[in-house]
Amino acid sequence: MYTTMGKGDSIIVAVRVRPFNDREKTRNCKLVIEMPNEGTTVIRDPKTNEEKRFNYDHSYWSHDGFSEKKNGYFEPTDAHYADQKRVFEDLGRGVLANAWSGYNCSLFAYGQTGSGKSYSIVGFKNNKGIVPIVCEELFKQIADNKKKNMQFEVFVSMMEIYCEKVRDLLSSTPPPKGGLKVREHPKNGFYVENLTTVPVNSFKEIEAKIEEGTKMRTIAATQMNATSSRAHTIVKITFNQKSSKQAGGTSMKKSEINLVDLAGSERQSAAGTEGDRLKEGIVINQSLTTLGRVIKALHDSQKSGGKKMQIPYRDSVLTCLLKNALGGNSKTIMIAAISPADINYEETLSTLRFADRAKSIKTNAVVNENQTERALRELREENLRLQSQIQGGGVSGDASNEEIEKLRRQLAENQKEMEEMEKSWQQKIAEEASKHAGGASEKAEMEAKKRKMCHLWNLNEDPALTNVIVHFIPVGETVVGNKPTSSGNFIQMSGLSILAQHVVLRNDGNNQITLSPCSEDLDIFINGKPVHGEVQLQQNDRVFFGGNHLYVFNNPTKKGIKTDITYDTAQAEIAQNHAAALGNRGIGGGSKRDLILEEELMSTLPLVQRANAMATELGRNVKFEIVLVSPEMRGLTSGLTEIWIKVHNISEDTYFLWEKSRFMNRYYGMQEMYEAKQDGSEEWNMPKERDPFYEPPDSPVFIASSVVFLQSLAYLIDVEEQFPIELRGEYVENPSQLVGKNIAFKVKVISAVGLPRRILKSNCKYRFFGSKKMTTTPTVSGNTPSYGHEETFQFKPVTKEVADYLANSNLYITFWGTQRPRGANSRKNSVSTIGSGGAREGPNKAKRVEKMVANAKSAENRNISVKALETVLRGVDDNENRKTRKQSMKKAGSTTIKSRSGSKKPKAK
């Protein structure tokens, strides 16, 4: 029986801001967050300085005002700083108190990747988060409350939702294809069928279980090439308090605690999917998008005075499982984790707005208490009813198989529930213990072994999955690969680019370890440098085995073990070493812009490498390459150079340029495809329309750009031939004289010549002062298209900004086209789309990475944006129209531009 208590608890919302990370420090990022008091969070727009204020239940300042103690704990040195203990006291204590009262509790952390969700929920090393402290305290309180007539039971489950599939993180059997099923119980709501639920007797046991789950996540993420930041992790603790009444009979209070570390909330930039016909095909974290919609719907319903509204819980796995937490029987807390830095302003603002909507949501927690005997009787009665329904062909007498199946399942669930109720706690614990001997002591053993034996420990882009896997290197030979050898020592590494027998490690008995690759073309790097023959491993060596396997080597019998090695530094040295090998001093020139670019390059390089490796393994004849694209080339007058990805479809001989965000979107699709294949799914092989590797030839591709200097317009001079060929009316001596006058400018884009032969149709785009949208010319076929475009831009009157624009800016016109795939055109075309040097396959990936860096570098140096049109013109060498081309060279900017004085002509002086 449910007892209703305090109706309508609002979700408690806390915001927490973390310190700057290394990246933000090297970039000299500005702080955009202030927390003037416990209830208020202020964010300042770094561009306009405008402030936005939000009120929450708690605003936790964890940005500065602390120092690291000897044991690694971050301790406040200033009262403003909120440490882990404070957050636990405010939020975790409440969770515990509610659990004791028999309420369901939920706590979830929301925020972009790297904002500190895991830090708050699970914590790192000695800075323990809410989950471990709650568990520890729970067992302490159980010990303090031991009474004769009371029995306490604690169970733990752990699962991960990735791409709408539920993975059981505590199961010892291989996961079923397609993940576990989410079902709905008529009374209790949604649950995960067959989820492992482990009874635990102590904090040590629960801690060991959570570590086991984390290890399972790490292995799966590495093997499947998955991005852990896109997964939601849920730890579920069930706490039962059974008391036997003096009058006979027992009653039970039950609390379910859901602790949820959500996937990174960073949105896909709209540009990434805009115009991408694949956007429907790729599920961009359906669970997270649905969570946003559910919160919005609940918020709106609350705003409209509790109006009944359709809440789309059923649209995703996560929202089904969080249904109670969000709108039902639960006391709920949300932690919104935010970055303090200006570069994350947009994401942070969006997190703050999400949190703001969440705080208006009300749940309806009730104490879950029942008389065991009565509950058993009810279950028995219900089962009798279910049985007769099944025999009688459902409620209606002619139920479908599906319906009968559902009744059967319900019956089985009830049966299980009854059995569990009748089993004693001792029985449950004994059953669990019989499943695996060891358990809690494994960890201690492993720690002891790490102090004696040479080993490798893993680095993962997610700090929570770093140093989770340890491989020991015993005396003799150990083979590393993806197929266990029949005899001898073996280390299993699976997934992308790992061979059956990948490398051999030899321990000579004196802790001298040598590593020898089993094949010449392997992707093995040590400390960022490619390895081809046998090498001896040194203390702290970062060993990249290929794919996703990055490890640190430690020899505990020798001094000098470093503890501050991170995934980022290890990844950076891989990229840097390749630039250095070419005699470059690296990409960065030291300026902030260069730093940003360098960082972007380092984070993108491994993804491009993996995309190429996936293409190979999935039999896609596609090659990806990084290119640097200047703002001019994108038709902009200012901005940063960006990293784009050049895509060469070798079979169709087509080239495309993807923005980074588009590449990322596709990259996730590739990962899903790769995972499906690894999973043994027969449907992994996508048709072209849904293939993330495929870009159809009719997708527009950048061809070239042309620059028009506007300065002469500022003097009201026509610029058709870069000379004042015609003076129309009067001209002005100083652009400032234009201000206040009504003037119209006409932009004409007449024609282009000598486009690459593979281009079927093309058009041009540009953005004139103040236009919100790009202006696009008509799309025209052929290699010498006549666009015949004219567009008038009126300024009534010309402002100072317009005059400045004309005096100081250029108009960048970009050319876009669609391509003729090979087959449609038998002649092979050798002109590369943007002339950044063709993608030649190196003998191994090391070379290819070097090449990518070199290409990226040279693309930048060559200032492609302005010359691209000319480059393309010269690059075409066939017999057609040699003459016309000569003539047209003069017209290379055949994109001519004309100005005309407006209706009110400026008066002559």
Binding residues for ATP: 111-118
Nearest distance from C-beta of residue 21 to ligand ADP, angstroms? 6
Nearest distance from C-beta of residue 70 to ligand ADP, angstroms? 17
Nearest distance from C-beta of residue 117 to ligand ADP, angstroms? 3
Nearest distance from C-beta of residue 238 to Mg ion, angstroms? 24
Near Mg ion in 449-488, by CB under 5 A: 464
Q: Is 265 in the site for ligand ADP (CB under 6 A)?
A: no
Residue 200 in contact with residue 209, Cβ under 8 Å? Answer: yes
Binding-site members are 111-118
Which does residue 292 bind out of Mg ion, ligand ADP, none, counting CB within 5 to 8 angstroms by kind?
none
Q: Is 113 in the site for ligand ADP (CB under 6 A)?
A: yes
Among 119, 139, 745, 816, binds ligand ADP (CB under 6 A): 119
Among 65, 281, 463, 842, binds ligand ADP (CB under 6 A): 463
Residue type, 815: F
CA distances to 161, 421, 426, 659 from 646, rounded to whole Å, are: 32, 61, 62, 9
Nearest distance from C-beta of residue 62 to Mg ion, angstroms? 15
Nearest distance from C-beta of residue 113 to ligand ADP, angstroms? 4
User: CA–CA separation, 892 vs 886, rounded Å?
Assistant: 10
Which uninterrupted H or E stretch holds 377? helix 372-391
Query: Token digits for 705?
Result: 């750009």
The stretch near ligand ADP (CB under 6 A) out of 14-22, 328-336, 515-523, 845-853 is 14-22
* SS3 state at 542: strand
Q: Is 822 in the site for ligand ADP (CB under 6 A)?
A: no
User: CA–CA separation, 151 vs 244, rounded Å?
Assistant: 9
CA distances to 689, 729, 838 from 908, rounded to whole Å, are: 62, 8, 56
Nearest distance from C-beta of residue 564 to ligand ADP, angstroms? 11
Angle at 160 between CA 154 and CA 166, to 5 degrees: 105
The stretch near ligand ADP (CB under 6 A) out of 13-21, 519-527, 577-585, 895-903 is 13-21
Nearest distance from C-beta of residue 19 to ligand ADP, angstroms? 5
Q: Is 118 in the site for ligand ADP (CB under 6 A)?
A: yes
Which does residue 797 bind out of Mg ion, ligand ADP, none, counting CB within 5 to 8 angstroms by kind?
none
CA distances to 80, 150, 282 from 670, rounded to whole Å, are: 45, 54, 9
Among 41, 106, 117, 302, binds ligand ADP (CB under 6 A): 117
Q: Is 18 in the site for ligand ADP (CB under 6 A)?
A: yes
Among 111, 588, 785, 893, binds ligand ADP (CB under 6 A): 111
Among 84, 118, 218, 494, binds Mg ion (CB under 5 A): 118
Among 73, 124, 457, 490, binds ligand ADP (CB under 6 A): 124
Which does residue 737 bind out of ligand ADP, Mg ion, none, counting CB within 5 to 8 angstroms by kind?
none
* SS3 state at 672: helix
In terms of DSSP bridges, do strands 743-751 and 74-76 run parallel, antiparallel, or are they unpaired? Answer: unpaired
User: CA–CA separation, 876 vs 859, rounded Å?
Assistant: 19
Taking the least distance from each CB to ligand ADP, the nearer of 466 and 612 is 466
Which phi and psi (to 5°) does residue 888 adopt?
Answer: -80, -15
Among 115, 157, 351, 705, binds ligand ADP (CB under 6 A): 115
Helices 203-224 + 660-678 axis angle, to 10: 110
Query: Token digits for 231?
Result: 């997964």
Taking the least distance from each CB to ligand ADP, the nearer of 154 and 465 is 465
User: CA–CA separation, 152 vs 158, rounded Å?
Assistant: 20
User: CA–CA separation, 722 vs 724, rounded Å?
Assistant: 7
Q: Which residue is nearest to ligand ADP (CB)?
A: 116
Size of the site for ligand ADP (CB under 6 A): 18
Taking the least distance from each CB to ligand ADP, the nearer of 41 and 894 is 41
- Contacts (Cβ under 8 Å, ≥6 apart) of 583: none
Q: Is 472 in the site for ligand ADP (CB under 6 A)?
A: no
User: CA–CA separation, 147 vs 150, rounded Å?
Assistant: 5
Which uninterrupted H or E stretch holds 442? helix 441-450
Nearest distance from C-beta of residue 348 to ligand ADP, angstroms? 12
Nearest distance from C-beta of residue 18 to ligand ADP, angstroms? 3
User: CA–CA separation, 61 vs 417, rounded Å?
Assistant: 45
Look at residues 158, 675, 225 and name the one whose alpha carbon lies nearest to residue 493: 225
Among 131, 464, 831, 849, binds ligand ADP (CB under 6 A): 464
Which does residue 124 bind out of ligand ADP, Mg ion, none, counting CB within 5 to 8 angstroms by kind?
ligand ADP
Which does residue 463 bind out of Mg ion, ligand ADP, none, counting CB within 5 to 8 angstroms by kind?
ligand ADP
Query: Token digits for 173?
Result: 């059997």
Query: Token digits for 390?
Result: 């099944």
User: CA–CA separation, 830 vs 828, rounded Å?
Assistant: 6
Taking the least distance from each CB to ligand ADP, the nearer of 263 and 701 is 263
Look at residues 142, 153, 113 and name the one whose alpha carbon lies nearest to residue 18: 113
Contacts with Mg ion, residue ranges (CB under 5 A):
117-118, 464
Contacts with ligand ADP, residue ranges (CB under 6 A):
18-19, 21, 62, 74, 111, 113-119, 124, 229, 337, 463-464
